[in-house]
Amino acid sequence: MKSKSKSNLMRSVALHALLTPLAIIWLFPLWMMFIFSTMPDYGIFSPDIIMTPSTSFLDNVRNLQADTNFFGAMTISIVVAVIYTFLSVLLTSMAGWALARYRFLGQSVVIGIILGTITLPYSVVVIPQFIMVARNFHLANTWTALIVPPLFNSLGVLFMRQAFSMMPGELFDAARVEGVKEWQIFLRIALPLARPTMAALAIILFLASWNNYLWPLLVNSRPGMMTAPVALGTLIGLTKVSWGGIMAGAVMLTAPILIVFVLLQRHFIAGIAAGAIK
């Protein structure tokens, strides 16, 4: 017993010795972002290395708001991310359900194509997508342009398909024998059982939308229709760059996500692992 607890302790010490430097390397930029967000611009460029927060955070926020209407952009980001996440989880669940539970002609071809789109780099897709949305459909600077094009997420479809495939088929056969309609089976049995997977997917999709920079920059560049990351980007000018404001904006973009992740990390990891185990 004694030697066992001793070896556990040793393992724990070794693990911490390995992980602590990694955590510091990962957290250091975040910490510096926070420090810079509390400093006036001239302080950021001072030759001294300052590791403790200063007092100019609110001034930076005020400047940021004056330069870019950042809170307006944040609101757009939140609305887009929420609607996008909801619609995308719904769509990918429906597609995943169909691919997992119904047999139809050309099914393997459809799955193959969806799998194939994952291998395409985004930079290959983004130009044709932009031409289609902005030129053919005249949707630049609209909510539709922000939300709809990225909705169909092939990774999400495969993620949900996997979750539904692993549910025992007898469950749905039992419902069919009971006369439960197909849409009721999906809504009342399959979706509630897929809740952990859907939660994990929702977090991934929300983050993807929240952090998305390139697509909103391309289609929604008009002031008043910008998302927060795009608004922040406009602060980088040719002559003057307001680093204090940018860092304050970055903190406001990062903090909510970080807090939510810390609170939900157990569910998040459980949802991801649910796809891997049994």
Partner 1 sequence: MAELSLNNIVKRYGSLEIIHGANLDVKDGEFVVFVGPSGCGKSTLLRMIAGLEDITGGELKIGGRTVNDVEPADRGIAMVFQSYALYPHLTVEQNLSFGLRMNGNPKTDTDRRVKQASEILQITELMQRRPKQLSGGQRQRVAIGRAIVREPQIFLFDEPLSNLDAELRVQMRVEISRLHKKLRTTMIYVTHDQTEAMTLADKIVVLRSGNIEQIGAPLDLYDNPANQFVAGFVGSPKMNFLPAEIVEKQTGSITVALQNLREVRLSLPINATQVKTGQAVTLGVRPEHFLEAGRGDVDMTVDVDVAEHLGNTSYIYANIAGGEQIVIEREESRNTGNRDTLTVALSAAKTFLFDGAGNRLR
**Sole binder of partner 1 in the list 1, 105, 109, 177 (CB under 8 A):** 177
**Sole binder of partner 1 in the list 192, 237, 239, 262 (CB under 8 A):** 192
**Sole binder of partner 1 in the list 79, 134, 166, 175 (CB under 8 A):** 175
Phi, psi of 236 (to 5 degrees): -85, 95
Contact 50, 39 (CB under 8 A): yes
Least Å distance, CB 167 to partner 1, is: 10
Which CB atom, from 257 or from 270, has the smaller least distance to partner 1? 270
d(CA 2, CA 70): 59
Residue 209, burial from CB neighbour count under 10 angstroms (0-12, 13-18, 19+):
buried
Which CB atom, from 21 or from 168, has the smaller least distance to partner 1? 168
CA dihedral 152, 156, 157, 159 (to 10 degrees): 180
270 lies in the binding site for partner 1 (CB under 8 A)? no
**Sole binder of partner 1 in the list 32, 180, 257, 270 (CB under 8 A):** 180
Which CB atom, from 121 or from 192, has the smaller least distance to partner 1? 192
Give the pair of three-digit tokens for residue 202. 């929702």
Which CB atom, from 29 or from 179, has the smaller least distance to partner 1? 179
Residue ranges with strand state E in 143-241? none
184 lies in the binding site for partner 1 (CB under 8 A)? yes
d(CA 95, CA 111): 10
Least Å distance, CB 29 to partner 1, is: 42
* CA triple 14-20-26, angle to 5 deg: 145
> Which range touches partner 1 (CB under 8 A), out of 25-33, 50-58, 98-106, 175-183?
175-183
**Sole binder of partner 1 in the list 135, 188, 214, 263 (CB under 8 A):** 188
* CA triple 133-210-31, angle to 5 deg: 145
Which CB atom, from 66 or from 171, has the smaller least distance to partner 1? 171
48 lies in the binding site for partner 1 (CB under 8 A)? no
Pick the closest to residue 70 from 235, 221, 212 (CA basis): 235
Which CB atom, from 176 or from 222, has the smaller least distance to partner 1? 176
173 lies in the binding site for partner 1 (CB under 8 A)? yes
**What is the Cα Rg of the chain in Å?**
24
Q: Write out the residues near partner 1 by the rule CB under 8 A.
A: 168, 170-171, 173-181, 184, 188-189, 192-193
